[in-house]
A and B are shown apart, each in its own frame.
Chain A
Amino acid sequence: MKIKTILAAGAMSVAAIAANNAQAGAVLDGIKAKGFVQCGVNTGLPGFSAANAEGKWEGIDVDVCRGIAAALLGDANKVQYTPLTAAQRFTALQSGEIDILSRNTTATLTRDVKLGLTFLGINYYDGQGFLIPKALGVSSATELDGATVCVEPGTTTELNLADYFRAKGMSFEPVVIENINEATAAFFSGRCDVYTTDASGLASIRTTMAPNPDDYVILPEIISKEPLGPAVAQGDEQWADIGRWALAAMIEAEEYGVTSANVDEMKSSTNPGIQRLLGVSPGMGEALGLDEEWAYRIIKQVGNYGESYEKNVTAKLGVERGLNALWTDGGLQYAWPVR
């Protein structure tokens, strides 16, 4: 694991040197010339980006790229996907192999500044949690002193776990298993008391892998912040703007109740916010260097944020909106206004 960390750190420092060398407008011009967006995605994380039985990429991260392609190129299908591992993702962005990275990537200060990335927003608020068997009789993570914990190595998950237990003055015994299938099998066979990973992962493991999902609960404590979002390389501000506002348009469309089904009727809405979003009152598209129908196409072809979430995350993983509900419903999704 250490070697991986060192290699990743090495890659990061080289990436930092390579950063900031993209010329203004270069990425955007490149995309227009080739006619598609090259989108870096996860090699397989259901709900975020995974290939379906026909080999087509699907997921909430994939929809971000599709939305941007709809806004910029007029067709949500004008996207080519490059599946990337965690170690490769930043190099791929810096070397120009991909135009945008939409791969459940946590936005952090060092990634933003040292790696020369620009995060476009947050399309999924995640955080690390605990899954336990009901039979353990525990209702809070603070009662987990002395527990054996199954954890996958190499991510921040393992470090967060140690931090949390140390901060609470509790002891734990880690059972570190590299492969997710083996790790979950170990947990469900009773090898450990607790399984920990990001909350989205816990929910899907509980619904799909547990012999009987009702025998297991996710504890209320979330011990880390994992704001996941798409990112582009610094240096092409116009390209970053288009990406940022495409994501914002998806969220704002949900705030206004504009869906892929009713977007045509909504064009005749009298709400000035909707009129601006859908280009009925012009100006927004022009400001971005696009035509006025840019957001209309995103919603028509891809759907609003809520639709994308339902179709991918809720349907595939059985995870409710939670933190990812709109701010008006007690969640954190709050779009910067398109005006």
Chain B
Amino acid sequence: MADNAKLPPLPTGTFSARAVAWSKKNLFDGWFNTLLTLGSIAFLVWLIPPLVNWAIVNATLEPTIEGCAEVTGACWGFVNANLRLILFGTYPFEEQWRPLLAMIVLMGIICFSLGGVKYPSFRKAIIPMWVIGVPIIAILMWGGMLGLTYVQNSYWGGLPLTLILSAIGIIFAFPLGLLLALGRQSTMPAIKTISVVYIEVIRGVPLITVLFMASVMFPLFLPDGVTIDKLLRAQIGIILFTAAYLAEVFRGGLQAVPRGQFEAGDSLGLSYWQSMRLIILPQALRLVIPPTVNSFISMLKDTTLVVIIGLFDFLGTVKLALRSDPAWTKYYVEGYAFASAIFFLICFSMAKYSAYLEKELRKGEQR
């Protein structure tokens, strides 16, 4: 039971009197806070009206260059006219329903998997869903069977590519990172050394270097006539890179689990893998949800770097659209604003889900 005596008395009086009291306490409490409040108000007055004028009042949606030339505000017509190029890149125009459908399938599986926290009955179906879903996505994107024309993955682009690179990246980097974290904790010297060297080397170089090596140097070391797909090389680069960071996140979680828990596992006669799976990891992973999601969000944003190896992720297709006609090039602010809005939406959803997940998993402790 909460102690009511400790709560401050409820404010009384008219609404305006309460408003004055509230603002005195919260906004004008001392000269420093008064200054901050006035400064913030001035900033918002300076910022908001021109921004609204630019983005809404004086803006146009008309998808022509002429229409945009007539207005003083934002030319959302650029996004409107090139929406399909921005969303799907150079994927063949008549076939763009395929990446759209693939994206919907992918989002569906992801939402279903995430729902497993709330609805335990979902959990058994998660792995079968991925096992069936990923080939469906692959068939939709590549084609070459079931009457679908074959589409090389040098034509993939836009939002589907960003989502695929991120989703596949997370799915593979997670277990690899986990193994590396366990390897680093291991008492076997060979495994420990390999893990430490791997983690430190990969963390020691920027992702852009990994991608660059994968794309420019690596093909030259392959035997003649053997080429590994550019997209696959980039995807592997992203997985290897993210795994190294995740490994350190997971190690933090493992170290935070009290020694006694490991010993409890041993005393129950569980094998190493049993005690990891049943006792240690559930606790360790729950502890590191925030930094794990942090890594995922930063990985999603890092996928935009694939533009340096000639792949068009969502940001890349915005650039592609800007160059589709030189007359559009000057509307880059609108293009980038649109891209950042979409990226914000995705990253914010991930952050919200992580907060929800933490709350759900802490219920056991609150009781």
A51 at interface by CB-CB < 8 Å: yes
Q: B323 contacts which of A26, A46, A56 (Cβ < 8 Å)?
A: A46
The answer to whether B319 touches A44 (Cβ under 8 A) is yes
Contacts of B90 in A (CB 8 A): 51, 55-57, 81, 83
A171 at interface by CB-CB < 8 Å: no
A51 CA / B212 CA spacing, docked (Å): 24
The answer to whether B324 touches A88 (Cβ under 8 A) is no
Contacts of B89 in A (CB 8 A): 51, 55
With both chains docked as a complex, state the minimum distance between the C-beta of A114 and any C-beta of chain B, in angstroms: 14
B267 at interface by CB-CB < 8 Å: no
- Interface contacts (Cβ under 8 Å), in number, total 123
Could you mark each residue 151-168 of chain B with 1 if its beta carbon is under 8 Å from any beta carbon of chain A, else 0?
A: 010110100000000000
Contacts of A46 in B (CB 8 A): 323-326, 329
Query: B217, B307, B310, B316: which has the most chain A beta carbons within 10 Å?
Result: B310
A81 CA / B30 CA spacing, docked (Å): 65
Query: Interface with A: B11-19, B39-47, B223-231, which one?
Result: B223-231
Q: A85 contacts which of B308, B325, B326 (Cβ < 8 Å)?
A: B308
The answer to whether B82 touches A53 (Cβ under 8 A) is yes
B1 at interface by CB-CB < 8 Å: no
Could you mark each residue 227-248 of chain B with 1 if its beta carbon is under 8 Å from any beta carbon of chain A, else 0?
A: 1001000000000000000000
B145 at interface by CB-CB < 8 Å: no
Could you mark each residue 25-62 of chain A with 1 if its beta carbon is under 8 Å from any beta carbon of chain B, else 0?
A: 01000000000000000011111001111111100000
The answer to whether B212 touches A7 (Cβ under 8 A) is yes
Query: Interface with B: A90-98, A149-157, A263-271, A295-303, which one?
Result: A90-98
With both chains docked as a complex, state the minimum distance between the C-beta of B20 and any C-beta of chain A, in angstroms: 46
Task: With A87-B216, A96-B224 as known contacts, state yes or no: A56 contacts B93, CB within 8 Å.
Answer: yes
A222 at interface by CB-CB < 8 Å: no
A18 CA / B332 CA spacing, docked (Å): 40
SS of A interface (majority): mixed
The answer to whether B222 touches A53 (Cβ under 8 A) is no
A46 CA / B329 CA spacing, docked (Å): 10
The answer to whether B329 touches A208 (Cβ under 8 A) is yes
Task: With A7-B212, A96-B225 as known contacts, state yes or no: A50 contacts B230, CB within 8 Å.
Answer: no
Could you mark each residue 52-85 of chain A with 1 if its beta carbon is under 8 Å from any beta carbon of chain B, else 0?
A: 1111110000000000000000000000111111
| Cβ-closest chain B residue relative to A15 | B220
The answer to whether A43 touches B320 (Cβ under 8 A) is yes
B85 at interface by CB-CB < 8 Å: yes
A223 at interface by CB-CB < 8 Å: no
Contacts of A238 in B (CB 8 A): none
The answer to whether A83 touches B310 (Cβ under 8 A) is yes
Contacts of A92 in B (CB 8 A): 219
Could you mark each residue 316-360 of chain B with 1 if its beta carbon is under 8 Å from any beta carbon of chain A, else 0?
A: 100111111111011010000000000000000000000000000
Contacts of B309 in A (CB 8 A): 85, 88
Could you mark each residue 81-100 of chain B with 1 if its beta carbon is under 8 Å from any beta carbon of chain A, else 0?
A: 11011001111110000000
With both chains docked as a complex, state the minimum distance between the C-beta of A138 and any C-beta of chain B, in angstroms: 25
A113 at interface by CB-CB < 8 Å: no
A11 at interface by CB-CB < 8 Å: yes
With both chains docked as a complex, state the minimum distance between the C-beta of B70 and any C-beta of chain A, in angstroms: 15
Contacts of A11 in B (CB 8 A): 216-217, 220
With both chains docked as a complex, state the minimum distance between the C-beta of A234 and any C-beta of chain B, in angstroms: 14
A96 CA / B90 CA spacing, docked (Å): 22
A276 at interface by CB-CB < 8 Å: no
| Cβ-closest chain B residue relative to A82 | B154
The answer to whether A209 touches B85 (Cβ under 8 A) is no
Q: B230 contacts which of A21, A47, A97, A204 (Cβ < 8 Å)?
A: A97
Contacts of B217 in A (CB 8 A): 10-11, 14, 91
Query: A10, A53, A204: which has the most chain B beta carbons within 10 Å?
Result: A53
Task: With A11-B216, A84-B310, A181-B329 as known contacts, state yes or no: A95 contacts B227, CB within 8 Å.
Answer: yes
| Cβ-closest chain B residue relative to A43 | B310
The answer to whether B216 touches A7 (Cβ under 8 A) is yes
With both chains docked as a complex, state the minimum distance between the C-beta of B98 and any C-beta of chain A, in angstroms: 13
A10 CA / B224 CA spacing, docked (Å): 19
The answer to whether A91 touches B85 (Cβ under 8 A) is no
Contacts of B312 in A (CB 8 A): 43, 83
A51 CA / B320 CA spacing, docked (Å): 7
List 16 contacting pairs A-B, 8 Å CB cutoff, sorted by A: A14-B220, A21-B224, A43-B320, A46-B329, A50-B323, A50-B324, A52-B324, A54-B84, A55-B84, A81-B90, A82-B310, A83-B154, A91-B215, A91-B216, A209-B329, A317-B326
Q: Give B residues with C-beta under 8 Å from A.
A: 81-82, 84-85, 88-93, 152, 154-155, 157, 212, 215-217, 219-220, 222, 224-225, 227, 230, 307-310, 312, 316, 319-327, 329-330, 332
Apart from A46-B326, A51-B321, A52-B85, 7 more pairs, CB < 8 Å: A43-B316, A44-B323, A50-B323, A57-B90, A97-B230, A208-B329, A316-B326
